[in-house]
Amino acid sequence: MDNLKVLTIQDISCVGQCSLTVALPIISACGVETCILPSAVISTHTAGFKNFTFRDLTDDMPGIFSHWASENIDFDAVYTGYLGSQQQIDYMITLAKNSLKKGGKFIVDPAFADNGKLYPAFDLEYVNGMKNLVAVADVVVPNLTEACFLTGIEYKTEYDEEYILTVVKALANLGAKAVVLTGVGYEKGYTGVVTYENGEYLYYKHQLMPNGCHGTGDIYASAFVGALVKGKSLYDASVVAAEFTLLAIKETAKYDNHWYGAKFEPVLYKLNSLING
């Protein structure tokens, strides 16, 4: 039996149900050994909390890479999320070349923007650096805002299928072998995900919940990675991730004041059945 191993690189937000505190349990729940490389340590995530602390871990990375190389450690997939600095983007390109097993997948969640705006601490220089990471990705998993920043296409809240197809083709033209675009909705009351691979465009829609939750992008990307590594196709993994994220959002709606994240933990046990069902 294969000992599947995923490395995920993103921050540790100590409070906030996002990044590594989401990726580690979700990918592990898929039955995949999950290794981590923290990009930064933040007291909370940066959306809604004030005066959070931030420690950049860029300087720790070369020593970690060197140690892994000396131990011949490699991975079936490398999955990047929130990166703490421009230098880390360059490190990730090198890491993908040196630490992936033959046939392994390099999955990039850009994790720098949403709702038409960049997250705090990111600028257009960072976006340009992220384009270099997307160029070497096997799969890129952006939301629509990130996709528009990466491609230079105007961000819209109302659009048609032709607009979305233009966006995913532009992402593919950056170099990514496959695209999974989240948060795409053509009909009122629905949202969904688009996959684009080898010129094939597929769309999956599901109910749009009225309550928004921080961290759902991380939940989605992590479930997607776990399902993909377990052997699901690009499209099927995108559907598993969408259904699991929807379960987490519905669970969160049961709580009156849980504003800072999504309650994925009570429904985590259902993820494996979604993958194997």
pLDDT at 202: 98
The stretch 203-213 carries a mean pLDDT of 86
Highest CATH level, class, for 5-276: alpha beta
- Break the chain into its structural domains and give their ranges: 5-276
pLDDT at 209: 85
Whole-structure pTM value:
0.96
Q: Are 93 and 23 in contact (CB under 8 A)?
A: no
Q: Is 177 exposed, middle or buried (0-12, 13-18, 19+ CB in 10 A)?
A: middle
**Helix, coil or strand: residue 86:** helix
pLDDT band for position 146 (cuts 50, 70, 90): very high
Nearest Cα neighbor of 192 from 241, 157, 231, 226 is: 241
pLDDT band for position 162 (cuts 50, 70, 90): very high
Separation CA 233–CA 97 (nearest Å):
23
Query: How would you label 60-80 residue by residue, b for 16+ Cβ within 10 Å and e otherwise?
Result: ebeeebeebeeeeebbbbbbb
Q: Please write the tens of the pLDDT for every residue from 96-144.
A: 999 999 999 999 999 999 999 998 779 999 999 999 999 999 999 999 9
What sign does the dihedral 87-92-93-98 (CA atoms) show?
A: positive
* pLDDT above 90 for 47: no
pLDDT at 49: 87
* pLDDT above 50 for 1: no
Q: Which residue has the tokens 């000396």?
A: 70
pLDDT at 256: 86
Sequence-separated (6 or more) residues with CB below 8 Å from residue 67: none
Query: How would you label 89-123 residue by residue, b for 16+ Cβ within 10 Å and e otherwise?
Result: bebbbebbeebbeeebbbbbbbbbbbeeebbeebe
C-beta neighbour count of 178 within 10 angstroms: 23
